[in-house]
Amino acid sequence: RPLCIGRRDNTYVLASESSALDAVDAEFIRDVKPGEVVMINEDGIHSDTSMSQPKVSRCIFEYIYFARPDSCLDSVSVYNSRIMAGRILAQTYPVEADLVVGVPDSGNAAAMGYSFESGIQYATAFYKNSYVGRTFIKPKQSMRESSVRIKLNVLKDVVKGKRIVMIDDSIVRGTTCER
What would the pLDDT profile of 78-113 be if each residue is shown by its tens digit? 999 999 999 999 999 999 999 999 988 888 999 999
Distance CA 115, CA 87 (A): 8
pLDDT bucket at 16, cuts 50 / 70 / 90 = very high
- Output the pLDDT for position 177: 60
pLDDT the model gives residue 144: 67
Q: What is the pLDDT of residue 170?
A: 66
Per residue in 55-76, is it b (16+ CB within 10 Å) or e — as a string? Answer: eeeeeeebbbbbbebebbbeee
d(CA 53, CA 39): 18
Instruction: Compute how many other C-beta atoms are within 10 angstroms of the C-beta atom of residue 92.
Output: 7
Over range 122-150, report the average pLDDT: 72
d(CA 39, CA 31): 14
pTM for this predicted structure: 0.80
- Nearest residue to 107 (alpha-carbon basis) of 86, 128, 91: 86
